[in-house]
Structure 1
Amino acid sequence: MASAGNFSARRRNFISLSILAALAAPLARANGFIPGTAPARDLARDPMRPTFHFLPKAGWINDPNGPIFHNGMYHLFYQYNAALKITGGMSWGHATSRDMVHWRHEALAMAPVPDSPDSFGVWTGSCLAVDKRVYAVYTGVAKSDVAHASVHGDQELHETQMISWSDDAGLDHWKRPARTIVADPPPGMKVTGFRDPSLWRQGGYFYMTVGSGEAHKGGCVLLYRSRDLATFEYQHRLVGADWNGAPADDGGDMWECPEFFPLGDGHVLIYSTEGRAHWLSGKLDTDTMVFHPAKQGVLDTGAFYAPKTQLDAQGERILWGWVQETRSSDAFEAAGWAGMISLPRRLRLDTDGRLRMDIPAVTKQLRAGSLAGKRSGEHAVFILPGSNGEVVCAGVKDAPFEVIVTAASEELLRIAFAPDEHEFSAASRRIPLSVGDEPSVHLFVDGSVIEAVIGKREGYTTRFYIKNAPDITVEVRGEGVRAQAWSVSATPT
């Protein structure tokens, strides 16, 4: 995942590095600080900086945290660091929206509290509304000793599950310092990590998952429960997998950012490991609280990690993810910004248990104007001005087609549908469709990111870094393919 030098290392390496200078960022930012309000230069003029994907005005962003619809407003919290050095002091940034596509920057929600269990970082977590109060559970990190270390690769870091809450309508003020709800991993378990809690209410209990794993044994998700949100008792592993032999630094024995939720006629678990975000679907035995997975897949093959979900105003399940940088730390430090949040994706579960995703209709508000393109027989070419636009393609089941994205004669992405196999390929990834699926591609280009949903089954997100915002060419080739394109603007109309 992310590391200080390059992005081939996994998120756990980023986590270890992120603590080494945790006190470098002033803790006073907790009081009224709005992320990136005083950048050293006008970052808006950076042609590689996205315009309609959410990111702070300056600085580092990674995992989305606790997205929630509350009092008629969407709230998105996220891992934030103004220093851009991938060095400690991780806090919860905050943004609000009425439509999930146009965002307003708010004051920092939570920052580390000195001499507390989160003194070295307020890490990833989730939110839950209970009556008029909203609770946030998250992982607090502090220095400890070898005997209590819980972060792989660092013998001085201890992770603690914590809870804070807000009683105001705008979720601007949170209980600080937060309360510790789970101080240590289960007894006898030597963990590779112990973080990223997610909370829900079921029957007479509150349940919480925590991402974890054991070296050379495998990653897992731990289940806790509570009646009062003050005392949590460990239950058992909700689900896990045997170690696949991957090196520890690749995260094969650690599952991060798990979230468990009902969807359709089943339940879904999402989690992140080995640089990818995965899903499992199946049935939950509500008597034993044991999850029985039946189907599995990948949420996104590319530069997409650590997703979280929420329910929107209509009760639909919406997915958000961290879109990572794939350039060097020197490059993004020079730019003054790093990372962004994906566009919203709607999740549904088919009757056979396979996950389906699409881009919700609310994103149509971003369309600034139709792009006619040039069409000749089975070939259509669209020019997206200034590395910015949206393209929707729909093919037919018995005919191949391709979508090729280029800039300045450089191929950025090729997506191909093979009807004989009834599957797509994107880069080296194969994306099989179900029997009734129609082949489709929905993609957005935004500054230096291409985000695509392919066949309504899987995402593919990739980064490109070309100066001066060149026009992007999108070619669509194939018999019977229907394609449309639009320019895109983040400014409300």
Structure 2
Amino acid sequence: MTHDLTLPSGTPTAEGLAERAHRDPHRPRFHFTSPGGWLNDPNGLTHWNGVYHLFYQYNPLAAAHHRIHWGHATSTDLVHWTDEPIALVPGSDGADRDGCWSGVLVDDGGVPTIVYSGRHGEHELPCVARGSTDLRYWTKDPANPVIAAPPEGVDITAFRDHCVWREGKVWRQLIGSGVRGVGGTAFLYESDDLRTWRYIGPLLTGNASQNRGELDWTGTMWECVDLFGVDGTDVLVFSAWDEGTTHHPLYWTGRYEGDTFTPTAVHRLDYGGRYFYAPQSTRDEQGRRVMFAWLQEGRTDEATAEAGWCGVMSLPRVVTLGADGRLDQAPVPELTELRRERVEVAPGALTEPYTRLNAVRGDQLDIETTLRLAPGATARLVVRETPDGAERTVVEVSRTHDGGGTLLLHRETSSLDPTVDIEPRYGELPLGEDGRVDLRVLVDHSALEIFANGRPLTARIYPTRPDEAMGVGIGADGDVTLERFDAWQMASAFTDVPRPLWP
């Protein structure tokens, strides 16, 4: 099979991509990454006949977003992954000549069917492909694109990404978009056969003039819309986009009924912003709502091109509804299979601003701790610290005197490289009257995922001395009690050899 690809000027070729990616010290080992090249949005997420299928946006020929394919990986435990043959390759001509962009997988009477955005020139339009029973081989529909154009009479900012579900006897579909001068939206369609679609109208439209520049700004276009119900509440997830810039994932809670979504409130999905982008979820055979997202890079295009890879998939998360009506998130419990050596720190009051825990070291760690914060107190956990302290990443939880809480990630000293992103990330931390914080921090080389009382914060860090940045420490200001501290070394989820770019 030949693959026609014209790369941007100056982009390194595919030669040695997998080998370079495998050698990069910043490459995660228990998060999913593509064998090499470029990875972005999770796609087609499904649990099919006992097997989890993760498709993803993939360029196997360069660490650059160009002429995107659909990569494919499978797992029976959400921990160990097997690379499968690439599912979709851009056509030599036609609706997806310039890329097979994001979409979903549905069960059409026993036939696995992908609905995705085919890119041709500047246009992204819905396309369909039917799969084999094992989801390894796919045939594109000759009628692609199955929707010939965006809705007439609407000045849109973009038109792509899909959420498709069966409702009674018909299929329904949301396509991410935006109304120019108004705000992001999700257009609702209906079909009897996944090929002929009737436009219904916008399910919900945001207001781009509100909160511009804030962490909950809804943007001028909604990417990767995802509608689902959880514990009796309807949730509409989207990623806020504006003129080519990816901002952050948000979600509306409310009620989906008829042809509309009546919102209650909008919330931040992850405090890391663009480091947890384009999320997609599925309900697995255990009835859990499982979500993945794309961890973007925080280093330069030149650095990723040299490294031979770009983009990380988040750890799979279980999403539930919290007591406050917002989403709670936690890593799937299956991840504990990778835990190896355990270190326990004795409980007690934290009396020092900072103490290095010499028994805990590493760049593949799973740390769980329970803290009690008095009003006005702050606790901090330090990871990826060099022996001289020049590079260190600080996770901070604090309680105000009136009982409110904050989760804050300090990256200002995470790296001495002046070209990487080191801006802090932060968000509201729900606290009860007892000031309890259940904190979990997963460190996987450059990937960092933090969960505090159900609130997640995802980020990327790039120490310039990665072999030395292994230290861990803990400290506090004010009255803080350490009730529990456990740390585990985490095993790798992949074999220690480069993986084929074309499985």
TM-score over 0.5 (shorter chain): yes
Which residue is equivalent to 2:485?
483
Alpha-carbon RMSD: 2.6
Distance 1:122 1:98, change over 3 A: same
Contact 2:429 2:452 in 1 (8 A): no
Cα distance in 1, alignment partners of residues 150 and 77 from structure 2: 39
**Residues 340 and 460 (structure 1), Cα distance of their counterparts in 2 relative to 1, 3 Å cut:** closer
- 1:415 is matched by which residue type in structure 2? E
Question: 1:262-288 deviations in whole A, cap 9, x for unaligned?
Answer: 111111111001511111111122xx2
| Alpha-carbon offset, residue 471 of structure 1 | 4.2
Which one of the candidate residues 93, 97, 100 is aligned to 2:75?
97
Partner of 1:391: 367
The residue type paired with residue 388 of structure 1 is: Q
Question: Where does residue 432 of structure 1 map in the other structure?
Answer: 429
Residues in 2 aligned to 1:60 and 1:398: alpha-carbon distance in whole angstroms = 46
Q: What SS does structure 2 have at the residue aligned with 1:330?
A: helix
Q: Report the CA distance between 1:381 and its aligned residue.
A: 4.6
Cα distance, 1:90 vs structure 2: 0.3
Q: Which moved more, 1:94-103 or 1:411-420?
A: 411-420
* Amino acid aligned to 1:310: T
CA pair 405-244 structure 1, distance change in 2 beyond 3 A: farther
Aligned partners of 2:431, 2:107: CA distance in 1, in Å? 36
Which of 185, 191, 195 in structure 1 is aligned with 2:150? 185
Displacement of 1:139: 0.5
- Bigger shift: residues 319-328 or 424-433: 424-433
**Counterpart secondary structure, 1:230:** coil
> 1:227-261 CA distances to partner (integer Å, 9 max, x unpaired)?
221211111211121122759xx982111111101
Out of 469-478 and 266-275, give the one that drifted further.
Answer: 469-478
Corresponding residue of 2:11 = none
Contact 2:38 2:311 survives alignment (8 Å): yes
Q: CA deviation at 1:442?
A: 1.1
Match of 1:153?
none
Whole-Å separation in 1 of the counterparts to 2:259 and 2:356 = 52
Amino acid at match of 2:474: V
User: Does 1:62 find its partner at 2:40?
Assistant: yes
CA distance in 2, matches of 1:291, 1:398: 41
**Counterpart in the other structure of 2:382:** 404
Write the letter of the residue equivalent to 1:160: L
Q: Distance in 1 between matches of 2:105 and 2:44?
A: 4
Relative contact order (C-alpha < 8 Å, sep 6+): which is higher? 2
- How far does residue 215 in structure 1 lie from its aligned partner after superposition? 2.4
Aligned residue for 2:487, secondary structure, equals strand
Contact 1:277 1:300 in 2 (8 A): yes
SS at match of 1:107: coil
How many Å separate the matches in 1 of 2:50 and 2:16?
30
Separation (CA, whole Å) in 2 of partners of 1:375 and 1:264: 35
Q: Counterpart of 2:406 in structure 1: which amino acid? A: F
How far apart are the structure 2 equivalents of 1:186 and 1:258? 17
For 2:458 and 2:65, locate their aligned partners in 1 and report how far apart those are by CA, in whole Å.
Answer: 29
2:259 matched residue in structure 1: 289
Partner residue in 1 for 2:138:
174
Runs of 4+ aligned structure 1 residues displaced above 4 Å come to 373-377, 379-384, 434-438
Corresponding letter in the other structure for 1:272: S
Query: What is residue 416 of structure 1 aligned with on the other side?
Result: 397
> Could you report, residue by residue, the CA deviation over 1:172-222 in whole angstroms, capped at 9, with x for unpaired residues?
111125632212111111111100111111222211111100222111111
**1:454: Cα distance to partner?**
2.1
Asked if 1:76 corresponds to 2:61, the answer is no
Name the CA shift for 1:189/1:403 in 2 (closer, same or farther; >3 Å): same
Once the two structures are superposed, the pairs formed by residues 245-260 of structure 1 within 5 Å of their partners are: 246=212, 252-260=219-227
The aligned residue for residue 6 of structure 2 is 24
1:373, 1:381 within 8 Å by CA — same for their partners in 2? no
1:469, CA displacement in angstroms? 3.0
Unaligned runs of 5+ in 1: 1-21, 26-35, 144-156
Which residue of the other structure, out of 174, 177, 182, is the alignment partner of 1:209?
174
Q: 2:231 aligns with which of 247, 261, 264?
A: 264
**With structure 1 as the length reference, what TM-score do the two structures score?**
0.84
Determine if contact 1:113/1:177 at 8 Å carries over to the other structure.
Answer: no
**Structure 2 residue identity aligned to 1:289:** D
TM-score normalised by the chain length of structure 2: 0.82
Q: Report the AA paired with residue 439 of structure 2.
A: V
| Aligned partner of residue 334 in structure 2, secondary structure | helix
Give the gaps of 5 or more residues in structure 2.
Answer: 8-13, 242-246, 409-423, 496-503
- AA aligned to 2:198 is E
Do 1:448 and 1:466's aligned partners in 2 also have CA atoms closer than 8 Å?
no
**Cα distance, 1:83 vs structure 2:** 3.0
Residue identity matched to 2:70: W
* Change beyond 3 A, Cα 1:253–1:476: same
Match of 2:163 in 1: 198
Residues 219-238 of structure 1 mapped to structure 2, 5 A cutoff = 219-238=184-203
C-alpha displacement of 1:60: 0.8
Separation in structure 1 between the aligned mates of residue 70 and residue 361 of structure 2, nearest angstrom: 34
Q: CA deviation at 1:472?
A: 2.7
Letter in 1 for 2:233: G
Counterpart CA distance in 2 for 1:95 and 1:37 is 22
Matched, 1:332 2:278: no
> Aligned partner of 1:416: which letter?
V
Mark the CA change 1:384 to 1:90 in structure 2 (over 3 Å): closer, same or farther.
farther
Shift of 1:354: 1.4
